Chains A and B, each alone.
Chain A
């Protein structure tokens, strides 16, 4: 059973606020990922990390930033939220090519 957690599950926030979406995994996976998913659309990779202190931007440009100070933790931060950031954000981790997903955070920016 995969153990990967995301908080909050739902977030409604006003424009201009700074937010951090949390993602933690207890499987000791070295690789972690953030995806953005809009309704009816595929998942788009926005950030990934292959280990501590290693982060890369994904295929979809995003104004968010990430950090990887500990193996188990991969938070995503938006310095100034805008309505265009409204989406579902999914975190995943892997030891190989098979990725395990968290439940997601649904973000709404008013």
Chain B
């Protein structure tokens, strides 16, 4: 069975600074990988996904993520954070049975 670890429970970053959120997965085959964002009281919105091909994927809101098979990682990055990026971020891994396994999430706080 697949699993996801997000090592950072909470990250605080200054507005305009860069952001990197870590995600490590465990899965025996080539995974489907996702990053979702959740604002308070809301559902999850897909930021980006990796199925195959180019290991650097671009998403919405200026986010990107890089798939590194050798490290079993799929870290999310943004060069310059905006106050509106304060939210909870979830990494997920999918298998061929269409089910997703989620990490525990990383809460991002943006300070002025």
The chain A residues found within 8 Å of chain B, CB to CB, are 4, 6, 31, 33, 40-43, 45, 48, 50, 58, 90, 92, 94, 96-104, 106
Contact = CB atoms under 8 A, between A and B. Distances in A.
Contacts of A48: 99
- The size class of the interface chain B forms with chain A is 20 to 34
Contacts of B4: 42
A51 B44 CA distance: 22
Contacts, number: 52
4 closest A-B pairs by beta carbon, nearest first, are A101-B43, A101-B44, A97-B94, A42-B102
7 contacts: A31-B98, A33-B99, A41-B104, A42-B4, A97-B98, A99-B100, A103-B42
A71 to B, nearest CB: 15
B86 to A, nearest CB: 16
Nearest to A56: B99
Interface stretch (B13-21, B45-53, B71-79): B45-53
Interface of B: 4, 9, 32, 34, 36, 41-46, 49, 51, 90, 94, 98-100, 102-105, 107
A37 to B, nearest CB: 9
A96 B98 contact: yes
Given A31-B98, A42-B90, A103-B42, A97 B32 contact: yes
B103 A42 contact: yes
Contact of B104 (A6, A42, A92, A94): A42
A50 B99 CA distance: 10
Nearest to B88: A40
A48 B32 CA distance: 19
